Structure 1
């Protein structure tokens, strides 16, 4: 009965039960075939709380409601007395990459509001510290930082819940699996050495603090990570399915979760998590090699694919190098190669804000823009770009072009400070403005303009809204 009022209004504004020939659904939309499209009140439907947009295409009247469409559809069928039809498999012709990105989007969809709110709080805190309104030792700062950072730190728990919904197992299973990854005693065992040494054979001398049934357990640390928990819950969904099929009904309620945890958690800690994090450490070595060959080419590649690395949580293999390089050499040449990414994302989001007619989309895009300005890019990535893949790839390429300019000009990071555009002074040489700084600024401006132009051309519609 959760969506009863919404469904009653939808039936009313599509022209009533008698105007409906049939109705089915895809990933995010209710798809009506109406006797007379003229009887549908499109403007009234768009104003409903719970309706994201109306699409008329392909002989269908489509009501976009979001990823909870199955629940809305079930309620709609019950209230309208319509015949249930098989859902439309809208992603059958999509590439594996597109299907994977759709899966990521569906997993993050329930988190977008809180993700944007947390990003805003973190962004405001950075502004307060920069303005000397508070320090990071103040009690107010500590409490506000906990509010803003909790979601990001405990991401495995939150994504465990949403991944469980996506893979259709009990949400408490996903929550528990995520909690294991950030359990205090597991966090305390976090290995300090790079995991890429796993492939050299030296990992077992440096990083193993515990074993499970005499099998070494490498604990790289999973706070704020994305891919390990998603893969873990996916594995749990397969185990859960097998157990539900083979176990007698009388013992399922206990033994399915019992055996799922006992099977999947060791696999996650021994195989899934360490391999995923080892990939990020290998990536760090690749980035160092690329810069050694040519900073401009490295900028093109790293600038283009940096947000992809963030999406998969692999960027943590590169970030520690910023601090090490500044400490050892007095400057870092990697960080300037990702500076244009924030500017490109800001351009894309501004374009979406200008072009969209949806208040709900603006409610996601505006906080995402502010967060990106202060260096917190996840709300933009998951809430704005991934649902619009053409714009997403155009934004990434725009960032790569700006990063290549920064790389060829020899841009360097000299001091740590704010992330995003506010961190621009950190790239100033002790000797003043040089060609590296000019190249960084020019590249960032070009990235911003390119992404904004593409967003204005493509418009604000999400992929599932384009018939």
Structure 2
């Protein structure tokens, strides 16, 4: 997308979310522009969904506009600039906007479902999970880049090629991971209202080589012990110590005493408590994941693959990032991500089945055609919110496809062909460059590709035969503006009656 198109997309979005004065915060993750709103009622949902660059919208703690990987990182700065420019201009009469574009009954159902989910999702526990996710989401681009370089480095090492380049690639791939605790500490303090650099300073203690000279609980500490979990806990403690100091330390001494006490108190607790405890927790996560897939791989894969789409629907999937990151720290890859990626395969298969079953619904078929490329690359929100979730049954059958693909990958893990992803973020076809396993690259790629194929096939078959009732087919297989390339619809009396 060219710079002009990026700015045009941002300019099209801004008035539909209430203009600059209605924006309280702007951020983005891998695929979504996340906006804080003063007045939710000023947002024109259907008009937003009708924009060519918008794949869907998600209602959560922030208003999230799905733009897709890459595009969101380019549109967000333009959107921020337009908001700043709009706030700097004198107030003017509100512009006359075109009436909202109606995208159809399915999108209205999807919006209603998201509103209900938002209300159910406001529990303190789920809000805490989202805050934890906000700590790790900004790290994903670096995790992806370093993961791809690590995969390239491994391939060159195995093939014996470019031996002079391999050490340089190893440094690029490992440098960020060796200091990831510092970035986690920085983001944790920032997210929970502390001074970000103090959170990073406390977390840096964990990766300092000199901790190897310190004994806690009768054992010598190891640099990096506790990893991202220890960094998160240490920085959170630093936030509370800092806030206590801000309340009680006189203003004249604050600049000297507060940072000193924050690092001193939090650092001592980290060295003589948190590093050991977080290290034990991290080891337990790795041990459990390995045991789960080696002893119950097929069943575990079925459950994980089948339940992941609902987590994505609820916006809670990013709460798994600390677990993935911990596994990558320990073994170089996360065995969970390839299994969870099968949920996207089931979603793609289900969407293709919907496309085939509703040949006269040009509007829905157009949505599917525009969202499928992103779906193959693992971006599932457009298909979830634009197709399967509003329809109901196809969402369930998509989960069935994800469960089948997860069981396939889990079975091979159980048989000894363990593999995972060297980074988090991508899934679908985009995960191939990040795969790493004990059985070699060839078998690893074949198993993952086989899992995707199973997910596509089962998601398609389950949706085609069980995703619609007769009434659904009658109601949905019409469109006032049908796809001109669509074949004639079958006679209703000849369509099979589905339960």
Tell me the TM-score normalised to structure 2 length: 0.52
What displacement does 1:96 show?
A: 5.5
Q: Which residue of 2 aligns with 1:131?
A: 159
Q: Which residue of 1 aligns with 2:415?
A: 411
The reply to whether residue 102 of structure 1 matches residue 123 of structure 2 is no
The reply to whether residue 445 of structure 1 matches residue 450 of structure 2 is yes
How do 1:77-116 and structure 2 match up within 5 A?
A: 78-79=87-88, 93-95=121-123, 98-116=126-144
Distance 1:153 1:131, change over 3 A: same
Distance 1:102 1:162, change over 3 A: same
Q: Which residue of 1 aligns with 2:94?
A: none
CA deviation vs aligned residue, 1:165-219 (integer Å, no higher than 9, x gap) = 2122222112212221111212xx1xxxxxxxxxxxxxxxxxxx5358xx75752
DSSP 3-state at the match of 2:175: helix
Tell me the TM-score normalised to structure 1 length: 0.55
DSSP 3-state at the match of 2:214: strand
The reply to whether residue 251 of structure 1 matches residue 253 of structure 2 is yes
What displacement does 1:155 show?
A: 0.7
How do 1:303-382 and structure 2 match up within 5 A?
A: 311=323, 315=327, 319=331, 342=338, 345=341, 348=344
Distance 1:127 1:211, change over 3 A: closer
DSSP 3-state at the match of 2:416: coil
Unaligned runs of 5+ in 2: 1-5, 27-33, 92-114, 306-316, 352-367, 385-394, 423-432, 464-499
The answer as to whether partners of 1:167 and 1:237 remain within 8 angstroms in 2 is: yes
The reply to whether residue 401 of structure 1 matches residue 407 of structure 2 is yes
How do 1:5-404 and structure 2 match up within 5 A?
A: 14-15=14-15, 23=22, 28-31=34-37, 55=57, 75=84, 78-79=87-88, 93-95=121-123, 98-134=126-162, 138-186=163-211, 189=212, 210-211=214-215, 218-222=220-224, 225-282=227-284, 296-297=295-296, 300-301=299-300, 311=323, 315=327, 319=331, 342=338, 345=341, 348=344, 401-402=407-408
Unaligned runs of 5+ in 1: 1-5, 83-87, 190-208, 321-334, 370-379, 429-436, 459-467
CA deviation vs aligned residue, 1:381-439 (integer Å, no higher than 9, x gap) = xxxx9xxxx999989856752355347xx723599xx99767575599xxxxxxxx99x
Which stretch of the first structure deviates more once superposed, 236-245 or 222-231?
222-231
What displacement does 1:108 show?
A: 1.9
Which stretch of the first structure deviates more once superposed, 161-170 or 30-39?
30-39
DSSP 3-state at the match of 2:135: helix
The answer as to whether partners of 1:280 and 1:316 remain within 8 angstroms in 2 is: no
Q: How many residues align?
A: 360
**Distance in structure 2 (CA, Å) of the matches to 1:262 and 1:269:** 11
DSSP 3-state at the match of 1:259: helix
What displacement does 1:71 show?
A: 8.2
Distance 1:316 1:121, change over 3 A: closer
**Distance in structure 2 (CA, Å) of the matches to 1:457 and 1:256:** 61
The answer as to whether partners of 1:118 and 1:149 remain within 8 angstroms in 2 is: yes
DSSP 3-state at the match of 1:139: coil
CA deviation vs aligned residue, 1:335-394 (integer Å, no higher than 9, x gap) = 9xx868526527738968x97969xx96x996xx8xxxxxxxxxx9xxxx9xxxx99998
**Distance in structure 2 (CA, Å) of the matches to 1:423 and 1:57:** 37
DSSP 3-state at the match of 1:29: strand
Distance 1:14 1:226, change over 3 A: closer
The answer as to whether partners of 2:194 and 2:239 remain within 8 angstroms in 1 is: yes
Structural RMSD (CA): 6.0
The answer as to whether partners of 2:301 and 2:407 remain within 8 angstroms in 1 is: no
Distance 1:454 1:267, change over 3 A: farther
**Distance in structure 2 (CA, Å) of the matches to 1:287 and 1:56:** 31
Distance 1:236 1:342, change over 3 A: same
**Distance in structure 1 (CA, Å) of the matches to 2:261 and 2:324:** 28
What displacement does 1:274 show?
A: 1.1
**Distance in structure 2 (CA, Å) of the matches to 1:443 and 1:42:** 33
What displacement does 1:143 show?
A: 1.1
Q: Which residue of 2 aligns with 1:434?
A: none
The answer as to whether partners of 2:135 and 2:188 remain within 8 angstroms in 1 is: yes
Distance 1:340 1:172, change over 3 A: closer
